[in-house]
């Protein structure tokens, strides 16, 4: 039995939850997110207790897999509309820059041309010197946007240049050692 799926999801004050058909919509302030769950699971919102419970309709392997996943996705919606998600990146390289222009991030990262990454709706990108902060309510969009920015120039272990996550540790390598003459 799924240990994650059995736990009820507490709904904080100020969050509106709507369960219709196979869809859960969560709204708080200006943030609104929704999730379409599979028919193998059932979602029930108890307004009096302010909790959401997820249960599976059958004991199949597929239903067991979707049980915990559906609960985690709904939990992510509630966290997203209340506190939001963010990923921090660092830009390491001499003369490398990042600039937000409209709904695009323009990266100058040592190539002949500039690299451009689109910013999806609902995601905000802030740049201060060599620090890039990607934030928003949707966990998937925030992570995907941060990964797209990092993909433009992954960190390399010899010089330490590249775009890396703030918590990421790049293990440095020594490089080639030249033999002494003789």
What pLDDT, in 10s, does the model give residues 139-152?
999 999 999 999 99
pLDDT at site 182: 55
Query: Taking phi first (over 0 means left), then psi (-120 to 50 degrees means alpha), and beta for anything else, what does residue 61 get?
Result: alpha
Q: CA 168, CA 91: separation in Å to the nearest integer?
A: 12
Alpha-carbon 132 to chain mean position: 14
Q: CA 164, CA 143: separation in Å to the nearest integer?
A: 13
What pLDDT, in 10s, does the model give residues 16-52?
999 999 999 999 988 999 999 999 999 999 999 999 9
HSE-up (13 A, CA, CB side) for residue 21: 4
pTM: 0.87
- Of 179 and 47, which is predicted with more confidence? 47
Q: Give me the chain's average pLDDT, please.
A: 92
Do the Cβ atoms of 77 and 141 come closer than 8 Å? no
Dihedral sign of CA atoms 67, 71, 73, 74 in order: positive
CA distances to 46, 126, 158, 159 from 166, rounded to whole Å, are 39, 14, 18, 17
Angle between helices 61-82 and 139-151 (to 10 degrees): 90
Structural domains of the chain in order of their starting residue, each with its CATH number: 3-82 (3.90.930.12), 85-165 (3.90.930.12)
Q: Evaluate if residue 74 carries a pLDDT over 80.
A: yes
C-beta neighbour count of 167 within 10 angstroms: 8
């Amino acid at each position: 039995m799924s240990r994650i799926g059995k736990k009820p999801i507490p709904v904080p004050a100020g969050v509106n939850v709507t369960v219709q058909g196979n869809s859960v919509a969560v709204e708080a302030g200006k943030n609104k997110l929704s999730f379409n769950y599979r028919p193998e699971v059932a979602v029930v919102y108890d307004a009096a207790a302010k909790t959401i419970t997820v249960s599976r309709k059958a004991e199949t392997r597929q239903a067991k897999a979707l049980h915990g996943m559906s609960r985690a996705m709904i939990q992510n919606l509630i966290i997203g509309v209340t506190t939001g998600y963010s990923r921090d990146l660092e830009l390491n390289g001499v003369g490398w820059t990042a600039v937000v222009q409209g709904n695009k991030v323009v990266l100058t990262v040592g190539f002949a041309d500039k690299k451009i990454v689109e910013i999806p709706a609902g995601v905000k990108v802030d740049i201060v010197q060599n620090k890039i902060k990607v934030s928003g309510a949707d966990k998937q969009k925030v992570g995907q946007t941060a990964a797209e920015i990092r993909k433009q120039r992954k960190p390399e272990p010899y010089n330490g240049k590249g775009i890396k996550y703030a918590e990421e540790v790049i293990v440095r390598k020594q490089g080639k050692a030249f033999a002494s003459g003789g």
